[in-house]
Amino acid sequence: MTDTEPKDIGLAIVGCGTVGRIRAMLAKDYPGVKWLGLCDINEEVGQKLAEDSGADFFTGDFSTLLKRPEVTAAIIATDENFHVEPTLLAVEQGHDLFIEKPLATDAEESARILSAIESSDIDAVVGYTQRFRRRFIAVKEKVSTGQIGDVTAVVTRALMNRMAPMASIRRTNDRRHLTPMVVSGTHSLDICMWLMEGKTPVSVYARSSDKLLGKHGTKDATFGIFTMDDGTIWSMNISWALPVAWPGAVYGLEIGIIGTRGVIDIEDTHRDVVMASEIPQGAAVQPGGLRTRLSAPRRVHDQLPARRHVQWGALGPHARGDELVAREAAHGQEDPPRDRRRRPPQPDAYDGDGPVG
């Protein structure tokens, strides 16, 4: 067989939660995957996915799975703090790898994984899903072919609803490294470093705040200034403590890339999705996760004072609460069904909504 011929894949997925499920259901429909094995320490979650995806094998022990003779490739989709051991074992077994971000939550462990991968001949990627989105591929092409000249400065702003960190930290008491940069900012960091390929940071100055989430063992926001080896400056920040009224847990991302001959301004903020600017009384954030997340928009709406400014779907940016209520009354219902809150089909509808975590 030559290198260009497709290989039959025996796929092991370690971690059958939200993301492991997405990967397994895709793998089920991909003809190159001839064998699918799953592992989760939560037997109920894992068995349910095994059933839904028609997996060939399920175990609660990642070592048993990764040592199966059918396995040629592995996806590591465990919680952020539990990537290291299964990843190192997969490398040792010579399996090609897809590791969900971050590589590890501790810098030394990340370095250990990187070194193990580099000294093997496996093909390994980290799940930086932004790189596969059409808008970023288009920007990459423009920057790398010099269409805006030499890049001299980049500015990145990432905003996230605080439900994302609450979901991450509820899974563990070891929260030392579950910071906005490590867990979620890593997506923005990666996409910007990818767009600036060839430039290496030589210094970073960063500050964080923790007024809200400090009591839960994490931080609210981190702002940093990077200087690259060619003098390019890059200002990057992430805030993941936004009120629950901020729409969804997806990133609101903006990137400005300034070149000597042109500028690229990327708006990836999902402003056409529900937006509300204030946290309503009583919409408490608990480390409860999904239920809080799903019910938050309803609570925001239920308690919306008549004159609070909101943006919602087809209503303009200055629609008022009473207009919202009138619009709903015209549809004969109190609260719109979820699918009416989704943005209408867009030319780039297949571009995806970006990462959720």
Residues found near ligand NAD in the complex (CB under 6 A): 14-20, 39-42, 45, 62, 77-80, 82, 100-101, 127, 129, 171, 355-357
Position 83, amino acid: H
Residue among 80 and 220 whose Cβ is closer to ligand NAD: 80
Q: Which residues, other chains included, contact 122 with Cβ-Cβ below 8 Å and sequence gap of 6+? A: 91, 94, 95, 96, 97
Taking the least distance from each CB to ligand NAD, the nearer of 247 and 321 is 247
Nearest position to ligand NAD, beta carbon: 17
Nearest distance, CB of residue 49 and ligand NAD, angstroms = 9
Compare residues 158 and 279 and give the one whose CB is closer to ligand NAD: 158
CB nearer to ligand NAD: pick between 20 and 37? 20
Output the smallest distance, CB 357 to ligand NAD, in A. Answer: 3
Residue 7 CA, chain-centre distance (Å), reads 29
- CA angle, corner 333, sides to 311 and 330, nearest 5? 70
Location of structure tokens 């609803």: 161
Q: Which is nearer to ligand NAD, 13 or 148 (CB)?
A: 13
**3-state SS string for 215-251:** HHCCCCEEEEEEEECCCCEEEEEEEEEECCCCCCCCC
> Could you give the C-alpha distances from 171 to 21, 209, 287, in angstroms and in order?
18, 22, 9
CB closer to ligand NAD, 15 vs 243: 15
- Kindly state the smallest distance separating residue 39's Cβ from ligand NAD, in Å: 5
Q: How far is CA 70 from CA 12, 37, 305, in A?
A: 9, 9, 59
CB of 123 vs ligand NAD, minimal distance in Å: 18
Q: Shortest gap between Cβ of 287 and ligand NAD (angstroms)?
A: 13
Q: 168: closest CA among 187, 182, 189, 188?
A: 182
Nearest distance from residue 51's CB to ligand NAD, in Å? Answer: 15
- Shortest approach of ligand NAD to residue 45 CB, angstroms? 5
Element housing 297 (H / E): helix 290-302
Angle ∠(47,52,53) on CA atoms, nearest 5: 100
238/253 Cα distance (integer angstroms) = 9
Q: How far apart are the first and last CA of the chain?
A: 39
Identify which of residues 43 and 150 has a Cβ nearer to ligand NAD in the complex. Answer: 43
